[in-house]
Chain A
Amino acid sequence: LVLQGYLDEQFNQLEELQDDSSPNFVEEVVALFFKDSPRLLTNIELALEKYPQDFYRLDSLAHQFKGSGSSIGALRIKNECSIFKTHCNGRNLEGCRRSLQKMKREHANLKQKLETYFQLLRQVGPQECAVNSWK
C-alpha cells in the first residue's frame, strides 16, 4: 500500500533477482538510483537556467533520468520524464520548468516511500510485508 501507484512491474523484476547470494539486491539498486539521481536533476536544472537553452542536452539528461528510473520501476518519475521530453521537443521552456518541479517532487516522494518500505521490510520481514498490494 505504501508504494501503490509509485512503482510498476519492473520493481517486481528487481525483487525476483533478489536471492540468498544477493539478499539486499533491491535496496542496493534503489540506493544506486538515489545516489545518481540528484546529480541528474541538478544538471537538468542548470541546463534550464542556461541561456540559450540547449533542448537537445535537456532531452538527453531527461533520457538518462528516465532510463534509470524505469530500471527500478519508478513509474511516476518515468511518466514525468516523458512529459519533460515532450516539452523539450516542443522547445517549451515553461513546460520544462513545470515538469522539472514535478520530477523533483516525485523523486522526493518516492525516496521517502521506499525508505519507509525498506524499514518495514527490516522490521516485519518480506513474507509479512504486503509487497503485492502496491501494484
Chain B
Amino acid sequence: MEASKQEEAAAGGKQGGGGACCRGRDARAVESSRKESKVVVPVVHDDAEAETEPCVIAVDDSSVDRALVTALLRRSKYRVTAVDSGKRALEILGSEPNVSMIITDYWMPEMTGYDLLKKVKESSELKQIPVVIMSSENVPTRITRCLEEGAEDFLLKPVRPADISRITTRMLLH
C-alpha cells in the first residue's frame, strides 16, 4: 500500500484536511490540497452531534507517530485531523473554527512544536486553544520552556492511553 493509504488505514479511516473536521451523516473524504499530508476525516454522526464533538489537530512529521496519536485520540472519542508539519497545522487552524486542542511533536523540521506553540499563543484568534507538546526526550529545560510559553501539558513519547486520559480530564476542568 502507498504511504498515504497506509496512514489512513492505520488511523482507522481517513482523517481530515483543510476544512478538516467534517460534519455530516456519511463517511466521506475531504483531502487536503497538499499530497504529502493527505488527511481525511471520517464522519459518521449527524450534524448536531458533530458540532458538539471536540476536534483535535495532531502534528507530527513521523507517519508512525501520527497514526499512533490519532488512534489514541479517536479512542477517547476525539475527531482528529493529523498533519505532518506546523506550517500545515497553521493553515488548517486558519480555516477550521472548531478546534479544541492541538497536540504536537516537539522536534520537527522547519517549525518545531515550540515554534508552533508560540505562534498559536501569539495569535489573538488561536491563543485560547490548548496546546500539548510531545517529545521522546525528557529534557527538563525544554519542558519548562514549553510550559512557560503556555503549553497545556508535555507528554513523553511513546504516548499512552493514560496520557490522553489525563489531558482529557484537564480539558474538561477548563
Contact = CB atoms under 8 A, between A and B. Distances in A.
Interface of A: 10, 13-14, 16-17, 21-22, 24-25, 28-29, 31-33, 35-36, 63-64, 66-68, 70-72
B129 interface: no
Given A17-B75, A66-B136, A67-B65, A31 B160 contact: no
B1 interface: yes
A10 B156 CA distance: 13
Which 3 A-B pairs give the minimum distances between C-beta atoms?
A: A28-B10, A22-B12, A17-B71
22 contacts: A17-B68, A17-B75, A21-B12, A21-B13, A22-B71, A25-B10, A25-B67, A25-B71, A28-B10, A28-B67, A29-B10, A29-B67, A31-B6, A31-B10, A32-B6, A32-B67, A36-B62, A63-B107, A63-B137, A68-B65, A70-B136, A71-B157
Nearest to B42: A21
Contact of B136 (A14, A33, A63): A63
Given A33-B64, A36-B3, A67-B157, 5 more contacts: A10-B158, A22-B11, A25-B10, A25-B71, A35-B6
Contacts of B62: 36, 64, 67-68, 71
B111 interface: no
A32 B160 contact: no
Given A16-B161, A35-B3, A28 B68 contact: no
Interface in B1-41: 1, 3, 6-7, 9-13
B117 interface: no
A24 B64 contact: no
A21 B9 CA distance: 10
B100 interface: no
Contacts of B3: 32, 35-36
B65 A28 contact: no
Contacts of B161: 13, 16
A65 B87 CA distance: 23
A111 to B, nearest CB: 14
Contacts of A64: 62
Interface string B154-174: 000110110000000000000
B71 A32 contact: no
